[in-house]
Amino acid sequence: MACKTVLVAGATGLVGHAALKHFAAEPETGVIALSRRPPGIASARHLALDMADAAACADAAASLREVTHLVYAALFELPGLVEGWRNAQQIATNDRMLRNLLGPLLHAAPGLRHVTLLQGTKAYGVHVRPLAVPAREGRSEMRQQPNFYWQQEDYLREARHGRDWRFTILRPVLVIGEAIGGAMNLIPALGAYAAVMRERGPILPYPGGAERVSQAVDADLLARAIAWAGEAAAAQDEVFNVTNGDVFTWPNVWPAIADAVGMRTGPDEPFLLQSLGRADWDRARQRHELASPGLGDFVGLSLEYADYQMRYGHADPGPPSIVSTIKIMQAGFHTVMDTEAMFRKWFAVFQQKRLLPPR
């Protein structure tokens, strides 16, 4: 019998998939995947659910009585992505989704012990202002900027009051992992760009703008942080930044990316990845007999996210986007990863699964 049962909300997304995979491999752990489509992990029980539907969430709660841990990685994004981050509809929908799920779950699952909530650097206003370097939990938040993080966090703290369960809020930076069709995974976006460029030769130009110093986090590393947070006493009712532990700029990491896809760098060629041609991608995947779907289903909104991350159209270096991870290390989570190795790892995964051309 499972000693704990983890409910992963948003199980087919970038973070949710990594968390689901991690917990499915843990002994004596039951896993329930909550998502609109099946997550592709056979050992996880799947529950199809639209979390924007309050009535459906209330009905589903009856089958979640055994849940001890909730990993809330569900996310609603609007078309255009970055422009939607300040949109009132986006904020209200994400707030409502958490309430729709957690409210009934608190009544249905008496053994609930922990909730992990995912935020990010928008908590520090990275999308509207230069960050304080380094941005720190509890010190650098931009509460005056409308953001669904604050509604979700305030609701979590209110719901937690007087009850035995605890929560942890994690703030990862740029997450890189396995999911396809998502809003913010750069491997499908950059991989599709590389596959199209490969049709004309072995050179992979850097398509972005002027550099800025940034950080990233491997999705599997983040999944380990989620698992740690659910059990560590030092993580209870706390907020933590999570990164790989190093820093990078896109021009400096680009040679590793080019090598990972079997190409080499050349002169920079600014290119709006959002303009990548669907027909060009179709030709590339047919030539290499790929298992990946059409461009929209493969990249989701990630082309827009790639343009944003690589600062397409910016001629001047951007302000550094750096967060402090001292707090999580002092609390006991010490896992790190080289960011170049992370990019190589995930391109290799996509190549092995025939989602991208072989190296």
Mean pLDDT of 70-99: 88
- Report which residue type is found at 352: Q
Tens digits of residue pLDDT in 48-74: 999 999 999 999 999 999 999 999 999
Tens digits of residue pLDDT in 199-209: 999 999 999 99
pLDDT of res. 170: 98
Q: Please check the confidence at residue 84 and state whether its pLDDT lies above 80.
A: no
Mean pLDDT score across all residues of the chain? 95
Mean pLDDT of 250-269: 97
pLDDT of res. 38: 85
Give phi and psi for 70, each to the nearest 5: -115, 125
Mean pLDDT of 254-277: 97
pLDDT of res. 182: 85
Mean pLDDT of 268-285: 96
339-352 helix and 250-260 helix, angle to the nearest 10 degrees: 30
In whole angstroms, give the CA distance from residue 279 to residue 125: 37
Q: Provide the CATH topology of domain 4-175+217-242.
A: Rossmann fold (3.40.50)
In whole angstroms, give the CA distance from residue 333 to residue 177: 20
Sequence ranges of the domains in the chain: 4-175+217-242, 182-215+247-322+336-352
Q: β-strand 174-176 against 114-118: which pairing, if any? A: unpaired
C-beta of residue 30 within 8 angstroms of C-beta of residue 66: yes
- pLDDT over 90 for what percent of the chain? 88
Tens digits of residue pLDDT in 15-57: 999 999 999 999 999 999 999 888 888 789 999 999 999 999 9
Q: Please check the confidence at residue 81 and state whether its pLDDT lies above 80.
A: no
Which residues, 6 or more positions from 179, have their beta carbon under 8 angstroms from its beta carbon? Answer: 12, 13, 14, 16, 17, 185
Q: Please check the confidence at residue 2 and state whether its pLDDT lies above 80.
A: no
Tens digits of residue pLDDT in 129-156: 999 999 999 999 999 989 999 999 999 9
Tens digits of residue pLDDT in 171-211: 999 999 998 998 889 999 999 999 999 999 999 999 999 99
Question: Sign of torsion, CA 269 199 255 180?
Answer: positive
**Tokens found for residue 30:** 């039951």
Q: Please check the confidence at residue 283 and state whether its pLDDT lies above 70.
A: yes
Q: Which of 56, 59, 65, 71 is nearest to 24 (CA)?
A: 71
186-198 helix and 339-352 helix, angle to the nearest 10 degrees: 70
Q: Please check the confidence at residue 338 and state whether its pLDDT lies above 90.
A: yes
3-state secondary structure 70-89: EEECCCCCCCCHHHHHHCHH
Taking the whole predicted model, whether its pTM rises above 0.85 is answered as yes
pLDDT of res. 97: 95
Tens digits of residue pLDDT in 287-330: 999 999 999 999 999 999 999 999 999 999 999 999 999 999 99
Give phi and psi for 84, each to the nearest 5: -80, -10
Q: Please check the confidence at residue 221 and state whether its pLDDT lies above 80.
A: yes
pLDDT bin (cut points 50, 70, 90) of residue 3 is confident
Mean pLDDT of 80-91: 81
C-beta of residue 352 within 8 angstroms of C-beta of residue 187: no
pLDDT of res. 150: 94
In whole angstroms, give the CA distance from residue 283 to residue 230: 45
pLDDT bin (cut points 50, 70, 90) of residue 1 is low
